[in-house]
Amino acid sequence: MQTLPGERLEVLLSARDIQARVEQLGRRITLDYQDKSLVLIGILKGSFVFVADLARAIDLPLAVDFMAVSSYGHATKSSGVVRILKDLDYSLDGKHVIVVEDIVDTGLTLNYIYGHVRSRGAMSVKICALLDKPARRQVAVPVHYKGFEIPDEFVVGYGLDVDERYRNLSDVCRLVRS
Ligand SMILES: O=P(O)(O)OC[C@H]1O[C@H](OP(=O)(O)OP(=O)(O)O)[C@H](O)[C@@H]1O
Ligand code: HPA
Ligand SMILES: [Mg+2]
């Protein structure tokens, strides 16, 4: 993909590896949520690609909802302040919820969302994250379904952005700045 001057992309996880892992996660979740009323809650914007693929890898009559939050804004560092830009559309009473994230980095975003969703009356709340960057964790959050652990590098693609760019890459790439 074309980049801005001074930016380079190096593939960290190929589209093929990602698809294979998403299929595995989908099969696991299908087995774990038999006979349960499942709602996937995608955290916008970064999770939009992952939710689309994961939802289709789960063979259950699930519902999908979204929350929009932002903590990174234009930066490559979390501001530490999580703002809700869009809340849930539906009640979670009697539902089993999986919060779907593209990445857990400091953990600040998911820590906030996990508390928020758990206060909304769901029967259970689990977390599914495609990427986990444990080296940068500031608060502990449980990741019940995990795609890949990645090193401490800023990544883009498969929904992840820098300053809104590169979400449409099929691979997950390191962003290298010169
Ligand atoms: O673990 P953390 O350090 O909190 O980082 C993870 C969060 O940061 C990114 O969101 P961002 O704020 O960039 O919003 P976006 O999804 O709209 O890009 C990402 O999508 C996660 O939601
Ligand atoms: O590595 C990252 N890339 C894009 N967005 C992010 N938000 C937290 N970590 C990252
Ligand atoms: Mg972002």
Asked if the model's pLDDT at residue 98 lies above 90, the reply is: yes
19 found inside a domain? yes
In a mutational test of the pocket of ligand 1, which residue from 71, 76, 114 has the highest number of ligand atoms less than 8 Å from its CB?
Answer: 71
Q: Give pLDDT tens digits for 145-162.
A: 999 999 999 999 999 999
Q: Which two tokens stand for residue 48?
A: 């939009």
161 found inside a domain? no
In a mutational test of the pocket of ligand 1, which residue from 76, 99, 100, 103 has the highest number of ligand atoms less than 8 Å from its CB?
Answer: 103
The more confidently predicted of residues 56 and 90 is: 56
160 found inside a domain? no
Give the helix, strand, coil percentages of the chain, each rounded to 5.
Answer: 25, 35, 40
174 found inside a domain? no
25 found inside a domain? yes
134 found inside a domain? yes
97 found inside a domain? yes
Q: Give pLDDT tens digits for 26-45.
A: 999 999 999 999 999 999 99
Q: Give pLDDT tens digits for 99-129.
A: 999 999 999 999 999 999 999 999 999 999 9
Using a 10 angstrom Cβ sphere, with 0-12 exposed, 13-18 middle and 19 or more buried, the burial of residue 91 is exposed
Give CA separation, 31 vs 34, 67, 85, in Å.
Answer: 6, 26, 33
Number of domains present in the structure of the chain: 1
Asked if the model's pLDDT at residue 79 lies above 70, the reply is: no
164 found inside a domain? no
Q: Which residues line ligand 2 (CB under 6 A)?
A: 72, 103, 105, 154-156, 160
Percent of the chain with pLDDT over 90: 88
Domain CATH code at residue 42: 3.40.50.2020
Separation of CA 59 and ligand 3 centre (Å): 29
Distance of CA 149 to the CA centre of its chain: 13
Amino acid sitting at position 170: S
Domain span including residue 42: 15-155
Give the count of beta carbons closer than 10 Å to the beta carbon of residue 72: 18
Nearest CA, atom 3, ligand 2: 155
